[in-house]
Structure 1
Amino acid sequence: MLSLMGMYWGTKPDGNRGDTAQLPRLVSDFFYPNMGGVESHLFHLGQQLIQRGHKVVVVTHAYGQRTGIRYVTNGLKVYYLPAWVGYQQATPPTFFAFFPILRCIFVREQIQVVHGHQALSPLCHEAIFHARTMGLRTCFTDHSLFGFNDLGNVVGNKVLKFTLSDVDHVICVSHTSKENTVLRAALDPQDVSVIPNAIAVSQFVPDPSAPDPNWITIVVISRLAYRKGIDLLVAVIPRVCAIFPKVRFLIDGAKRIDLEQMRENCLLHDRVRFIGSVKHHEVRNVLVQGNIFLNTSLTEAFCIAVVEAASCGLTVVSTHVGGIPEVLPPHMICFAQPEENDLVRAVMQAVKSVQMKEVMPMRQHAEVKEMYSWANVAARTEVVYKQVMRINTPPFIERLRRYYGCGLWAGKLFCIMAAIDLLFLVLLEWWLPREAIEIAPSFPTKKYKRIRQMTSDKSGGS
């Protein structure tokens, strides 16, 4: 996913942070109304940066009828760009097609730092590339883990090497993710920081009365893709249902053909319930209906879903992969290898734990609340922005040197692309000078907060 964060130093937007302020800009292929960990990360990070006195702008592609410029909670401004959407809500590579509109947005919003999220987002790579051509600072956050042993990963890693060879700083969501990114992009580990994800803990409060006392309910909330271990899930469910007659499954996910076939073949209609694709604000209402949360991912850099489940007081069962072992303490999670027999063992262990009432939901919620905070994530991200602002923008010849080191043939290709991009920028500056681009006014954050407070007071009084 791509996320861009732009910032400028100058008069603060709302006049309450001193002499300087930052204007973060988040641009991503993955943002609401699409659901996922990266989408949640961008939204909550943006909200916390607004609370810290920054003006925040999100850039993503259009979702159906949601196009143009929209404002969401607390004045978070979102640009939904018109674009064709390909596999898993990512835009296809266009190389230079987005440059004109991205340049206008960068100038219009007075962007100085572009922050890209997710290696699988072509929009992310293109935005960082064009931002460097314009002399802007850049940073990148990686949310996923990738291998080295197939053609897709080799090509993806080469593209990542191209992007990160000319970026000011890199952020990873776990130490495992940092190690993976450093190896894939041949980075200096000192140029990579680890800032974990978080959740809005206040939105994931347990409800001990919600689960059905006649059943032990196992909740699965996932995209149901191969990377999420859908094949393991298909194999595990019939075995668990055969062992425990009072266990049932509650599954959220849009792509579930294999699971529906399994339910038909094993006659588990009363034990496996599908609830479609749940919106993020409804996730808590689904989680609290369960006793156990099951995650069968084959690879994860962090996995916000297990934190949300733990905050709701569920016993978590997860595969021991990627950065998941860094997410929760051992007493909150039962680990299993990404293998059918071991997953069944871990689920059996969790079921027995629920039967013995070893988990105290409110106590577990309080522990999670102490561990994760979006305010902390925003503060640490802000430190990165200040750091990159102190870095001098390299001359174009230095950019060519960095790209040339990306490979015997790829390096030459990347240098040609950089030269074309610079010529394209010269053309754009002639065709639509910066002076002709209207500067966007800041959202009246303080006024908005006062109106919300007055409305809240009136509602409380009535």
Structure 2
Amino acid sequence: MSRGGESPERPLRVLIVSHYFPPHVGGIENVAHQQARQLARCGVDVTVLTSGSMRGPDPVSDADGFRVVRVPAWNGFERRLGVPFPVFSPSLLRQAGRWAGWADIVHVHDSFYLSSWAAGLAAAIRRTPLVMTQHVAMVDHPATLVRWVQSAVYATAGRALLRRSRHTAVLNSSVASFVRDLGAPEDAVVHLPNGVDRERFRPAATPAEKVRLRERWGLPADAVLVLFVGRPVSKKGYDILLDAASTEYELVFVGDKPTRAVPRDGVHHLGPMDPTELAEVYRACDIFALPSTAEGFPLTVQEAMASGLPVVTTDDAGYAPYALDRSLLALVERNADAVRAVLRQLASDTGRCAAMSAYSVAYAARHFSWSAHVEHLLRLYGETRGATPGAVAWEVCR
């Protein structure tokens, strides 16, 4: 699968590499999925390289106009420790080499994972240009060993990938500083916000729709519902929000159920959901809360805003490029007392909630566009190759 003798009329070939991919639930895999879908719509020939079951290699599948190649991987670290780090079979190197040779661009998601290292090595050997999206900086994990491993990985394999990448896309200024400190060239770092499917993630059209969706998902009809979307781990602030429980509102958790969950009044664990189901739960709830750390601008926050929810999340200097109105989006200290205080205030202040909801919808409409994201991405690919993206017909995406 060499690129020799390529025709200028041949579609641009992009290999997207992500440690996880749907149906696995998480922000990185959702971004990679949207990029693959939107690029395919624009005429790009897309292959996704990701992890699969240890039962054996899944056949190459086609969905939404692109290929998905799943390499067998052991996922015990996530199941046992809450650390999303799949350990791939040795066939990863062969698959990375094969598809890097096929591609015109290798686009790696985050420098922390084995899939990224293999793809970066394969791109270097095949002399295929490398582009990266770095989603997070160092995560303040409660386990000392995990923090040490993060530091070691970013100082070695992560540094090598970031230095070689022609462009590194980041979501906020904190991550931009992080990658520059690791050696990413100043002119290679670009701010690239994610988009949101605003046809799917939208506010409830009527109060009756919200009532109907609450009934469908077994949620109380008359309570103030505070939604959390993510894995039940410290990084996401799951324990902080659980500790912030109050009789003035009820908590709704979407994502993997904690292994030792104890039934509690006013706490609802709905489990993992596909995007269509998740969008319904956003519309069924009243407030979104995510007291996470080192997250950039999480895709779940963007989905919540597009769905018209007031947002409560951790204060982070990295949000500066987004010019958020702090009176209409609550950026709070990362502790249960601070989160509880603002949630109680919102639960009793329908006027402020309405103003925050209107701000969320308007901000999402102005800033969260997948078409604008992919248009920027195509320009980066063209600059990376030293030319325009060739036969990619951008007008078909309009």
Q: Normalising by structure 2, what TM-score?
A: 0.82
Determine which of 18, 35, 38 is the counterpart of 2:28.
38
Q: Distance in 1 between matches of 2:180 and 2:139?
A: 12
Partner of 1:441: none
Q: What does 1:113-128 correspond to in 2, within 5 Å?
A: 113-128=105-120
Q: Distance in 1 between matches of 2:370 and 2:382?
A: 18
Shift of 1:329: 3.8
Q: Distance in 1 between matches of 2:3 and 2:44?
A: 9
Q: Which runs of 4+ in 1 moved over 4 A?
A: 6-12, 147-150, 324-328, 360-364
Q: What does 1:63-462 correspond to in 2, within 5 Å?
A: 63=53, 67-73=58-64, 75-88=65-78, 89-92=84-87, 98-107=92-101, 110-146=102-138, 150-158=147-155, 159-183=157-181, 185-207=182-204, 208-209=207-208, 210-211=210-211, 214-237=222-245, 240-241=246-247, 244=248, 247-257=249-259, 260-261=261-262, 263=263, 268-269=264-265, 271-321=266-316, 323-324=318-319, 328-354=324-350, 358-359=354-355, 361=357, 364-390=360-386
Q: What does 1:4-83 correspond to in 2, within 5 Å?
A: 10-11=6-7, 19=9, 21-63=11-53, 67-73=58-64, 75-83=65-73
Q: Distance in 2 between matches of 1:352 and 1:64?
A: 50
1:101-127 deviations in Å (ceiling 9; x for gaps): 3223334xx312211101231111111
1:356-384 deviations in Å (ceiling 9; x for gaps): 66348577434412221111111111111
Deviates more, 1:34-43 or 1:339-348: 339-348
Conserved 8 A contact 2:232-2:239:
no
Shift of 1:39: 1.2
Conserved 8 A contact 1:137-1:389:
yes
Conserved 8 A contact 1:9-1:21:
no
Q: Distance in 2 between matches of 1:28 and 1:292?
A: 30
RMSD: 2.9
Q: Distance in 1 between matches of 2:86 and 2:221?
A: 46
Residue identity in the other structure for 1:182: R
Shift of 1:330: 3.0
Identity %: 18
How many residues were matched structurally? 363
Partner of 2:216: none
Q: Distance in 2 between matches of 1:320 and 1:356?
A: 19
1:201-229 deviations in Å (ceiling 9; x for gaps): 11111114315662111111111111111
Residues 364 and 127 of structure 1: is their aligned pair in 2 closer, same or farther, counting only changes over 3 Å? closer
Residue identity in the other structure for 1:233: L
Residue identity in the other structure for 2:185: D
Q: Distance in 2 between matches of 1:186 and 1:122?
A: 20
Q: Distance in 2 between matches of 1:27 and 1:274?
A: 31
- Alignment gaps of 5+ in structure 1: 1-5, 13-18, 392-448, 450-462
